[in-house]
Chains A and B, each alone.
Chain A
Amino acid sequence: MHSLVLDIAGTLSAAANLFVVAAGLTLVFGAMRIINMAHGSFYMYGAFAVTTVLGVGAGWRFWLALLAGAVVAAVAGLTVEVTVIRRLYDAEHLTQLLATYAVLLIFADIGQRIWGAGYRTVNPPAVLASGVSIAGVQVPRYQLFVIGVGAAVGLALWLMLARTRFGWLLRAAVQDPESVATGGTDLARLRTGVFVIGAFLAGLGGALIAPMQSIAPGMDVSIIVSVFIVVTIGGLGSVAGAALGALLIGLAQTLGAEFFASWAASLIYLTMIVVLAIRPWGLLGVPER
Chain B
Amino acid sequence: MMQQFFELPVFGVFITLIAYFLAVKLRKRWNYLLLNPVLIAIAGIIGFLLIFRIDFETYNVGGEYISFFLGPSVVALGVFFYEKYEEVKQNLKIFILAVVAGGITGVLSVTGFLLLLKAPEVITRSLAAKSVTTPIAIEITRLLNGIPEITAGIVIAVGIFGNAFGPFILKKSGIKSKIAIGTALGTAAHGIGTARAFEEGKIQGVYSGLAMCLNGIITALITPYLLELFFRIF
Asked if A pairs with B, the answer is no
- Chain B interfacial positions (CB closer than 8 Å to A): none
Q: A interface vs B, CB < 8 Å?
A: none
